[in-house]
Structure 1
């Protein structure tokens, strides 16, 4: 089979995969619904069967992928507009625990054993069922937990403590290399960075392993000499 034909089909398949992912939206794997997984499996099957079959031309592959993309788009739009369709296609959250009461029927429906439930709790930092007021299995399989108020950590508002807001930090130097896109994001330039680091005694940027900065917290810097081997770069 012509290697150029295989390469062409693969490139087209990857391009359409990006389109399908954009249609499905930006989701983590745990946030994907069962239908999202089915979409990707079908897409993989279409691509796999067509790449090495010389009877399937590039135009036939493009037609199949366009048709598949249109079907996915239509299903997503129907689910967006219709509650019934969304429930049927995407599923709904399942309350396994509600107001501290366990629903064993829903556990059975989700093929869940008690030890599996306890594992899920531990992964969320909860080590006893007595702490859980509500536990929800999301359509994608992830778990959301609401603990009783007495088991929640106290916040600054609870303690009537005034705590200033903190700005997120940005990584400005990674392995000795200045990340100019991050500098641009915070409205700074390389000269500003050099001047600021020089004021703190850092004149050789190549020796800086990690440098982050935020408006509220300032700089946090680690050099290669700060690593456990303390021998600099190899």
Structure 2
């Protein structure tokens, strides 16, 4: 078999194996990675690259190595689900960085964060004055979560003792000029309602790139003609 063909087949196989194992490991693997999940991703990726490019190696041994590493990762995740001590050992624990408007320098050194990095993370949360912060906690994912002091938090309907209706998620009802019948049924509407709305606007589904219905049954349209956008 020519080398180029063997490398092509090995690469396709490696991509297929990585896709299957990533689905097995779950969505957390591609969202907020823990330290071990980060190591797992790098290691499995390196094994897959080695499997696809090293034509002298055997297919089976490379696949076994990837499967064993995945099994270890699944075993550790199962252990974390069952044991708080295991989670603390493998993922660490959240660290308070700011408390009552005061930076905790000892915890900053523990997490190896500089003042510049802290200020940048606060700005990403739209916080520019440390004195307004009640708590800032660094989670095990490395993300900084901030709670402002009560007097600096925005007002909510609950603060004003106002009754509000429950919100429903907006639902796409047209994509690429095609009506999504299942989406209409989920929000208690039908095609007749949609066609009546479109008719009143002088348009048709095939002329609409995207359409969405919000919790108040308000229809938003984005036609293929970018100069026209309307809600009804």
TM-score (norm 2): 0.84
- Select the structure with the greater relative contact order (CA < 8 A; seq sep ≥ 6): 1
- Which 10-residue stretch deviates more, 158-167 or 203-212? 203-212
Q: Unmatched 5+ residue regions in structure 1?
A: none
Change in CA separation of 1:58 and 1:182 when aligned onto 2, cut-off 3 Å: farther
What secondary structure is seen at the aligned counterpart in 1 of 2:27?
A: coil
Q: How many corresponding residue pairs?
A: 227
Q: Tell me what 1:205 maps to.
A: 205
- Would the aligned equivalents of 2:133 and 2:149 in 1 still touch at CA under 8 Å? yes
Correspondences of 1:1-234 after superposition (within 5 Å): 1-27=2-28, 31-180=32-181, 182-183=183-184, 185-186=186-187, 188-198=189-199, 200-224=200-224, 227=227
How far residue 136 of structure 1 moved from its aligned partner, in angstroms, is 1.0
What secondary structure is seen at the aligned counterpart in 2 of 1:92?
A: coil
Q: RMSD of aligned C-alpha atoms?
A: 2.5
TM-score (norm 1): 0.84
CA displacement 1:106-147 (0-9 Å, x = unmatched): 211222111211111111111110111111111111111111
Q: Unmatched 5+ residue regions in structure 2?
A: none
- Would the aligned equivalents of 2:32 and 2:141 in 1 still touch at CA under 8 Å? yes
CA displacement 1:58-105 (0-9 Å, x = unmatched): 222221121111111112122222223222211211111123332111
Change in CA separation of 1:25 and 1:114 when aligned onto 2, cut-off 3 Å: same
